[in-house]
Amino acid sequence: MIRIIRRRLYTALPAFDRIPVTWNPLGLLSTSSSVERRGPLEIEEVKKILNDVKADDVRVINVGEQCGWTDYMVFATGRSTWHVKNIAQAILHKVKQKQKGVDRMLLPSVEGHGGGKWVVIDSGTVIIHALDEKARAYYNLESLWTNEMINKETSQDLEKAFVKVRPKNNSKRKPGKITK
């Protein structure tokens, strides 16, 4: 039964869409490691777009060894919500330009475009985070993907959070002696 499903699945794909696949012992489909993943945008194109729209503090982090779903995380700061939305629109416009004339467009997934404080664009091999200045400082996403040290201030705040503080006695009565 599984062989029939495999054969039908593999023969249903057009010849140009076929990629080397392997079947693990459980009968699940997995792509070959020799196949290079490609997305609608390459990292050089993303850098150029972000430079053209004057995004601030652009940081590219190679996360290929840390996770299996993407190769690069790109963090860019916008000066306002309008600027953050404009960064996202520029990237989406470039994707549409690259796929001009194609029967079926493959557009990246976009989250947060309505708010404008933090927009995430998932284009396969590159995930772009466009953040407002305050949101980028608050979330500090780069530290999740790098080995940067956490600020001493935040670690001190964490230490203070775990200290048990005894409430002050604001009553005018003097505490009485404990009798046994």
Task: Dump pLDDT digits (tens) for 136-157.
Answer: 888 888 888 887 655 545 555 6
The CATH code of the domain that includes 122 is 3.30.460.10
Per-residue model confidence (pLDDT) at position 108: 86
Q: Looking at residue 144, what is its pLDDT?
A: 85
Q: Are the CB atoms for 156 and 147 separated by under 8 Å?
A: no
Domain annotation covers residue 162: no
Supply the pLDDT for residue 64. 84
Are 24 and 75 contained in the same domain?
no
Query: What domain count does the chain have?
Result: 2
- Are residues 102 and 14 part of one domain? no
Predicted model pTM:
0.62
171 in any annotated domain: no
Q: Is residue 77 part of a domain?
A: yes
Structural domain of 18: 7-31
Per-residue pLDDT of the chain (180 residues; tens, 9 = 90+): 454 555 555 554 454 444 444 444 444 444 434 335 567 788 999 999 999 999 999 999 998 888 888 889 999 999 999 999 999 999 999 998 888 888 887 888 888 888 889 999 998 889 999 999 999 888 888 888 887 655 545 555 656 666 666 666 666 666 666 666
For residue 157, being part of any structural domain is answered with no
Q: Are residues 64 and 122 in the same domain?
A: yes
Regarding whether 129 and 69 lie in a shared domain, the answer is: yes
pLDDT at 113: 82
**Are 59 and 120 members of one domain?**
yes
Residue 179 lies in a domain: no
Residues 27 and 94 in one domain: no
Query: Which residues have CB under 8 Å from 75's CB, separation 6+?
Result: 57, 58, 59, 61, 129, 131, 136, 141, 142
pLDDT for 30 equals: 44
Q: Please give the Cα distance from 105 to 100 (Å, whole number).
A: 8
Do 23 and 58 lie in one domain? The reply is no
Could you tell me the two tokens for 33? Answer: 């490691």
Note whether 57 and 143 are same-domain residues: yes
In-domain check, residue 16: yes
